[in-house]
Structure 1
């Protein structure tokens, strides 16, 4: 692990981020920063608001209050503008273009860094071909970086599960982000795949991209991160080094299911989850292109 240089301008600053669905509060006044060359973990029990917070950071949700800034510039709540600014993300459920090749998937991720518009594409002049060549070269570099070069011409749907995860990360990196958000990158992985993912995240950090990661695998988180923040019932319970967080009795109690004062009941939690699902569906419908990414399931999920 590296030592965080806290005097550097944070790549991410979230201030007072709150997200309400009607009268239900899923995230309440959460502050969080991520500095360059840092890996930060975001953990918490199921229903703690972690993915909702991620959605607020990436423009999928418009926060009820608070602001999100990238390198001290407040971000507009639009996913494509957040990506263009320098923040990329992956999803808990893999979302790839299943019928496109591995190389084509990564090329799609690079489109936020190309300047050629529809007119240039139609004319297919020298500038277009130079941009196309540069995009292909960058995509090939990322396939080499993630170990997917031998699978460049394979359809995404035919990759093993662990390689699908790698491909989603490669596609996110194709936009050359300064900050990468990973939503449960080891979900469903076996121990070997999890170790490979850990090494890949270290390599991403070493190349200069800061990382914010949600994960339920505590061993993975505590072996990976420089700093960890804990969400409980939508609020930040604590934040600190991995040693400090592991020793915090409040964190232990939260994971053991010990109720806090004012803890929501099962019915209230279900209401929040339903509201989140409805909000996500509406946002996705507005954000999708004419050919939306598919959710690629692990092969055994279809059995």
Structure 2
């Protein structure tokens, strides 16, 4: 397993600093009579990796969309480094939050390098006339963006495929390219929506190493994932959403031991969950519940 190379720290984004990076207070999202997210509070601090888990339909991606401006929350507020965020996605990105998507959203007919360069647009200060006239300032900014994009491709292990079309990359490398493009905006907080979906165990381990390397460079991470082993090995804290509400939040040990989490994944009432004293109880914790949900034998 190869550890990603060290990435030179970004200079365009705000300094990492100490304290809270993301503060979500009472976030609620209603679609007509349906409440998809109800009163969710969540914080992400500098240097943290926080996991967000829950059964299908729990409201995880909807909550992500509220954080990034794709949805305007019906109630509640979202702040980044103490400043309330705009309701426009490009301004959220400019503020310092970047994301990937559950379904890959690359520019399929653009090269790997061009995809990453697209992510640089919020950090490029040259305007329309500069681009049309292509003066010295524009050329300098263009060179700087390409250098930064190549650093990110080295960091994610894709530099040797800089001229390949994105659609020709294997699935795992397309996921890496999405992360590289998100990092191109120099975020202080990176949101990853199911980054290991569809990956084999080797690709999953490589993604775990990559996320740890991103954190080591000073970027906080909030990640949605269904792979319990990945989440519990990776995250400092884990929050569980069930039916749009936060059920519990804490360390991996706290979450795995919570009977309400097990019940939520198994779809059974808490009272029906076998206790640790039951000699017929197989495995306990959310990881066991995930195995039962997928049909695996603990």
Q: TM-score, normalised on structure 1?
A: 0.83
Alpha-carbon separation, structure 1, partners of 2:269 and 2:94 = 41
Runs of 4+, deviation exceeding 6 Å? none
Equivalent pair of 1:58/1:82 in contact (CA under 8 Å): yes
Equivalent pair of 1:11/1:35 in contact (CA under 8 Å): yes
Secondary structure in structure 2 of the residue aligned to 1:237: strand
Answer 1 or 2: which has greater helix percent.
1
Match of 2:214 in 1: 204
Q: Could you tell me how far 1:259 is from its partner in structure 2? A: 4.7
Match of 1:9 in 2: 19
2:61 aligned with 1:23: no
2:77 aligned with 1:67: yes
Match of 1:76 in 2: 86
Equivalent pair of 1:9/1:72 in contact (CA under 8 Å): no
Provide Cα deviations, 1:118-151, integer angstroms capped at 9, x if missing partner. 1110011010001000000000000000000110
Q: Which runs of 5+ in 2 are unaligned?
A: 1-16, 272-298
Secondary structure in structure 1 of the residue aligned to 2:108: coil
2:94 aligned with 1:94: no
Equivalent pair of 1:87/1:181 in contact (CA under 8 Å): yes
Closer/same/farther in 2, CA of residues 49 and 259 from structure 1, 3 Å limit: farther
Secondary structure in structure 2 of the residue aligned to 1:11: strand
- With CA pairs under 8 Å and 6+ residues apart, which has the higher RCO, 1 or 2? 1
Alignment RMSD: 1.2
Size of the aligned set, in residue pairs, is 255
Q: Could you tell me how far 1:211 is from its partner in structure 2? A: 0.2
- From 50, 54, 63, the equivalent of 2:60 is 50
Equivalent pair of 1:20/1:26 in contact (CA under 8 Å): yes
Q: Could you tell me how far 1:23 is from its partner in structure 2? A: 1.2
